[in-house]
Chain A
Amino acid sequence: MNRLLNWLETIAPNVWAIPDRILQSTWQTIYMTLIAAVIAGTIGITFGVILVITNRRGILEKPRLYNKLEQFINTGRSVPFIILMALLAPFTRFIVGTTIGTTAAIVPLTIGIIPFYSRQVENALLEVDPGIVEAAESMGSSPLEIIFGVYLKEGLPSLVRVSAVSIINLIGLTTMAGVVGGGGLGDLAIARGYNRYQLDITIVSTLLIMLIVFVTQWIGRILIRKTTH
């Protein structure tokens, strides 16, 4: 055991020197991802549902609302995230009172992922067989019953799939949070590992991010299997 620790110390001396910082960065990444995922998830599913039902042949066809939302999403997706963070600074200050720090980073993260996730949700819900929706209409279901009883229930496996993809995307975005002092593993890899020529820190940060991504994929796969009949 001692020999193993000694060996780790020799191959990764810088990591060994700051174990607390590494734990903290990992936690920051998870924290930013989770909070942003929950908020963006709620809004994204709402937007995705609105897109599907207001689209042509949707259950509440509203072309103008659809076009507005569609434009908003396309615009949102065209702004690069690192610029979005700077752009949103006043808004962030309005929401959380500061523009610096991990919590402050959650605002641009949430807003950055919403357009992507909304589109993904729309695509997932479009996979629901229109025949099933028609059957529900023929049974006299109300729009709300169709949204919750048909779209969200029948589309659940696809929703889980696109959610996992979006969370992985979100983890990617959190690595840029260092720009606004958000910390996280991406910041650790650049600020410590790259700028100070401490390659072992970059490698360990990468491995930890990969681990988080793999766990996300694994949970996604289990949930898809559980929800597919």
Chain B
Amino acid sequence: MIELKHIDVHFETKEHILHAVRDVSLTIEKGDIYGIVGYSGAGKSTLVRTINLLQRPSNGTVHVSGQDLLGLNAKDLRSARKKIGMIFQHFNLMNARTVAGNVHYALRSSSLSSEEKKLKVTELLDLVGLADKHDVYPSQLSGGQKQRVGIARALANDPEVLLCDEATSALDPKTTLSILELLKDLNDKLGLTIVIITHEMEVIKEICNKVAVMENGSVVEEGDIVSIFTDPKNALTQEFINTATHIDQALVKLAKHPSILDLHDNDTVVRLSFVGQSTNEPLIASLYSRFTVTTNILYGDIEILYDTPIGNLIVILSGSSQQLKQAVNYLESQQVTVQQLEKIQLVNKSKVIPLNREKII
């Protein structure tokens, strides 16, 4: 569907050359909701703009629906762009036009009759849930409503691809969810391929089936959402995931919590992570009944990613070292990843970090 090969983008200024995107190759399949996550300045907005050539790459090739976009003349590129919708962080609606006028603008050069265009505008506004805002100007809409107009406008020419450039970053969490729900809906109903650029792993977690992580213009890790979330290889990916699953905040809180401060000799703090069926096993109960290891749950979280449950627990295990060893072996036999945590004292704040793997019980 979308094939980027060896994309480089650099901007030349008098003093130096800025490499915004370095040798990125991505393949996005039809029907994917593909997330590209990274901090600001990672080059993700520049990368997504190469898909509709709003940004021409310095090197590399761009194919969308089998068409080599870089080989098209201006006119053919314009018709290709009509099949690639795009929505923006700041909505970019035309203030001088009504909601209907904004959607209608996208249909300017379509071959529909003016009656058909009107009908199409009404249908699109219905689809995004703004049937009653037909003749309202954008200045009277809330952020979420503006983005819905943006979506209706982007869908006007029945595109196969929708590019979302930080489309929810200017919205509050609740509105973000409702917009993401709408996007998911469109993906289901219309088979729309969606590319989402964001700095929030939460957004990725909510709707994407695939994800690429970007840093300094390069893709550092890429894969389907479940494997990325359960087994992140890159440090940056781990950081994003810890933020998204709130493990980071939990660790910060634990560092301040007294229960961690006065651990007994036989106590140890561990993080348990598990994927899929093992969530159904009564693990904690088994630990006590089998090994008389008691478990004190400090933090727990279960995410459902594409119907796969992913759990994270931070617990204190108490028992003799022999019992603990057996318990950990048992957990690992149940496909639970066990990671021992320790508390370290920094200059004026304490922090809980994972122990080195060798040190595990």
Contact = CB atoms under 8 A, between A and B. Distances in A.
A132 B79 contact: no
A229 B90 CA distance: 18
A126 to B, nearest CB: 16
Contacts of A136: 105
Most B Cβ at <10 Å: residue of A135, A137, A156: A135
B24 to A, nearest CB: 20
A129 B93 CA distance: 10
A139 to B, nearest CB: 5
Contact of B54 (A134, A154, A229): A134
Interface string A126-142: 00010110111111111
Contacts of A156: 96
Interface stretch (B14-22, B80-88, B227-235): B80-88
Contacts of A154: 94-96
Interface in B104-157: 105-106, 108-109, 137-139, 150, 153-154, 156-157
Interface in B59-107: 77-82, 84-86, 88, 90, 92-97, 105-106
Given A145-B108, A149-B108, A229-B139, A139 B81 contact: yes
A153 B81 contact: no
A42 interface: no
Nearest to B97: A153
A79 to B, nearest CB: 33
B84 A138 contact: yes
Contacts, number: 67
A132 B90 CA distance: 9
A153 B153 CA distance: 18
A132 B94 contact: yes
B117 to A, nearest CB: 14
A36 B137 CA distance: 35
Contacts of A227: 96
B101 to A, nearest CB: 10
A229 B163 CA distance: 28
B54 A139 contact: no
B89 to A, nearest CB: 9
B105 to A, nearest CB: 6
A190 interface: no
A55 B92 CA distance: 21
Nearest to B90: A131
Nearest to A150: B94
A154 B81 CA distance: 22
Nearest to A227: B96
B152 to A, nearest CB: 12
A187 B352 CA distance: 86
Interface in A131-174: 131-132, 134-142, 145, 149-150, 153-154, 156
Interface in B11-60: 52, 54
Contacts of A132: 92-94
A153 B52 contact: no
Nearest to A229: B137
Nearest to A157: B96
Given A145-B108, A150-B94, A135 B88 contact: yes
Contacts of A138: 52, 54, 81, 84-86, 163
A229 B96 contact: yes
Nearest to A137: B54
B170 to A, nearest CB: 12
Interface string B149-185: 0100110110000010000000000000000000000
A137 B92 contact: no
Given A139-B105, A149-B105, A129 B96 contact: no
Contact of A141 (B78, B80, B138, B154): B78
Given A139-B153, A141-B78, A149-B108, A131 B94 contact: no
Contacts of B154: 139
A137 to B, nearest CB: 6
A137 B154 CA distance: 12
Contacts of A153: 94, 96-97
Contact of B81 (A129, A140, A150, A229): A140
A149 B104 CA distance: 11
Contacts of A131: 88, 90, 92
Nearest to A149: B105
A59 B138 CA distance: 25
Contacts of B95: 154, 229
A142 B96 contact: no
B257 to A, nearest CB: 46
Contacts of B156: 139
Contacts of B84: 138
A229 B138 CA distance: 8
B94 to A, nearest CB: 6
A136 B85 CA distance: 11
6 contacts: A132-B93, A142-B78, A150-B94, A154-B94, A229-B138, A229-B139
Q: Which 3 A-B pairs have the closest CB atoms?
A: A140-B81, A135-B92, A131-B92
Interface of B: 52, 54, 77-82, 84-86, 88, 90, 92-97, 105-106, 108-109, 137-139, 150, 153-154, 156-157, 163
Interface of A: 129, 131-132, 134-142, 145, 149-150, 153-154, 156, 227, 229
